[in-house]
Amino acid sequence: MSKKIVLITVLVLVALTLVGCGQKQTPEEILNEFYPVMEDALASGDGTAWVEYFADDATMEVPALAPQPVAGKDMIEAAMWPGVYGAAGESSIEIVQLEVDGNSATVYLMYTGGLTGDFPMQDLIEFNDEGKIQSYVVNVGVPAP
């Protein structure tokens, strides 16, 4: 009888563990991974790992550089690396303020140590239901309130 209880207990624990593994990450958790990956990409000039955070049909917009958003994960990578972000050089990114409301995030950052000097940024990010970035707007020179 005790072997059955041990087996049932083990099966319940395994089931609970598997259910916990299926939980999706919160926007805060995703962003806490995203920005260090971005720093690594800035250092290497390779945005491959960075772009994996985007949905296949994501859009990215940098109003200071172009009037139209870039659409599609592949186009985002082609447009942003190595050109825009590659030109920034190795930079440090410090999250100054992070505001999350549902699937939307406003992130105020400070870029330091890059080829273009130190400057504040504001990222407006929308996540889809799978936890991928659906929309990403980068506002250059916008400091935290």
* CATH number 3.10.450.50 given to 26-140: yes
- For 91, other C-beta atoms within 10 Å of its C-beta total 22
Q: Quote the pLDDT of residue 84.
A: 65
Residues 81 and 41: their CA atoms lie apart, in Å, by 9
How does the average pLDDT of the chain come out, rounded? 82
Residues 68 and 118: their CA atoms lie apart, in Å, by 25
Q: What is the pLDDT of residues 15-71, one digit of tens each?
A: 444 444 557 899 999 999 999 999 888 888 788 999 999 999 999 999 988 778 999
Q: Quote the pLDDT of residue 12.
A: 40
Q: How far is CA 139 from the centre of its chain?
A: 16
Which position has the token pair 């190795």? 90
Q: What is the pLDDT of residues 86-125, one digit of tens each?
A: 666 667 889 999 999 999 999 999 988 776 678 899 999 9
Of all helices (H) and strands (E), which one includes residue 48? helix 48-51
Report pTM.
0.80
